[in-house]
Every structure is written in C-alpha cells, then in structure tokens.
Amino acid sequence: MQMSLKKFFIFFLPALIFGALLYYGVFWNIYIALTNYSLLHPVPEFTGLYSFMVLFNDYEFQMAFERTMLWVAVLVVLGNIMGLLIATAIFQLESPRLRNALTAFFVYPMSLSMIVVGIMWRWIFDPYKGIDVILKGLGIGSIDWLTGYNAFWSLSLVSVWVYAGFSAMLYLAAFYNVDRSIIESAMVDGADTFTIMTRIVIPNSRQGLLISTIFLALFAIQMFALPYAVLFLNPFTETMVMYVYNKFVSQYFFLASAAAIIIIVVSAFIVIPYAMYGLKKWIVRR
C-alpha cells in the first residue's frame, strides 16, 4: 500500500521543521564566522575568511583542537576495548535476568548527568578526601589526578568509564544478531568459548564496532560538561566546545562561530561516511 503525498508530508513535517531550524542555525553561524562581530565590533562587517585565519593562528584553539582529537583517540580505543570485554562477558551468561541486570549496571553511568559525574569524580580525585587517602593508607604515594597534564588523562579515563557500558550495549546487540545456527554448529564440532567468540561472534559483529566508534568519537568531540564540572575552564582540559563557550561569553562571536563550524565539519567528516555506508549496505541493496 502506497502512502499518499499528503500523509507523507504530514509524517515528515516534524523532521522538516527540525531540519529547517538546525540548518538555519548552521548557516547563521557561517554568516557570523564571515564577519568581525564581537564586543569591539557590535555592528557586523563582512571580513571573509579572516576569522578562520585568526582561529588557526590562535594557540589556545590549536591546543583545544589537539586535545579534543586526543580525547577522541582515547575514548574510541579504550571505550571499544572495554565495551567489547564487557559485552563478551555478559554474552556468556546463561541467565537472562543476570544479563539484563549487568547490562543495566554498566549502562547506568551514561544515564547520569555529566555535571553529576563530574562533581562525583571531583570528590573521588580530591587529594584529602578521595582515593588518595586510600592509596596513602596502602603505603602508595598520592597521585596528582587533577594537576597539570594529569587532569586530561584522569578525565579522559572517566569518560571511558561513562561510555564503556553504552559501547557494550551496542556490541551485545550485534552479538545477538549473529546467526545462532553457526554458533551451535561450532559447539557441536567441539569449539570452545574463546574460539567461538574470536572466530565467529566478534568477526560477524563489525556493525557494533562501526556504530560504537562513531558514537564514541562524537561524544568526545562534544565533550564539555565533564571537564567544566570538575575543573571549570582549565587550560589543560579545554576542548573545542569549551573554546567556543569561552569565546562566546567573552563576546568574540566571530571566533566562537568559526570554531563551531570546525566542530560541525569534523563531526560531519565522521558521520557522513558512516551514513553513506549504511545507506549503501542496508537500504540500497535491499
């Protein structure tokens, strides 16, 4: 049964409205990025690509960009590894209740607000009340978790703790889509659990890896609330989104808009190839 044009339009009207608002914001950012709009120039004047020249020569932005890309690498690599290990362990359980309980347990950190997570871990990293007290009691020297460059690595590991359960959930969904008859045939042939997982289940779950990598990369690119809640505008944990916020509140609107465009481009560079791959693999071929 074919859908009439009127029903089709009504069905997609919310998406069209949302898309129009989204692209309005994008094009408005592009317009501001091509001007000198700031506290010093309250009346915008067209300056072309000048804002991007200033942006790329800004050492603060350079460091924020490098730090964000490093955060992406840490979260993608460690998040996928931890997610795969957690999903593999849960997949081996026979009890559905236990599987569901553990899945909810590992996904739970993502359900918390990043502000809550940040405040919680700020207490955990506190040198006088947190984990350092336990380390000192065990005769291990304290670690300056939130001092200097240690702050970045500490918070990037916290982000892995937050999102590893989400990655595990994606892997589990891919595991459960593997043809059960293949697994049962391998079990009849005497294959052990390790062989079944490494030779059958994981190789046939590449969709989980792909989707997990995309989401973890986007989570890292959008990182703001976690470092802000722990250390506010700290130069050692400043990401691109924090740079945008800093320039916006300082009323350097043209720099904030230019940096926002860079974030959009980087995100699109990650998402669009996946979208095209999914369109080709799961829709066009059908």
pLDDT, tens digit (0-9, with 9 covering 90-100), for 150-169 = 999 999 999 999 999 999 99
d(CA 132, CA 127): 5
Asked whether the predicted pLDDT for residue 55 surpasses 90, the reply is: yes
Residue 72's CB: how many other CB atoms inside 10 A? 22
The letter for the amino acid at 68 is T
- For each of the domains in the chain, give its residue range(s) and CATH number, in order of start: 64-236 (1.10.3720.10)
- Please provide the average confidence, as pLDDT, over all residues in the chain: 90
Confidence of residue 206 (pLDDT cuts 50, 70, 90): confident
Higher pLDDT, 180 or 170: 170
Give residue 283's pLDDT.
Answer: 47
Q: What are phi and psi of 47, to 5 degrees?
A: -125, 5
- Burial (CB < 10 A; 0-12, 13-18, 19+), residue 218, is middle
Read off the pLDDT of residues 214-248 as tens digits, 9 standing for 90 and up. Answer: 999 999 999 999 999 999 989 999 999 999 999 99
d(CA 59, CA 201): 46
Asked whether the predicted pLDDT for residue 114 surpasses 90, the reply is: yes
d(CA 224, CA 242): 6
Triad 85, 88, 93: Cα angle to 5°: 130
Q: What is the pTM of this model?
A: 0.91
Residue with tokens 């501001």: 32
CB within 8 Å of 193: residues ≥ 6 apart = 92
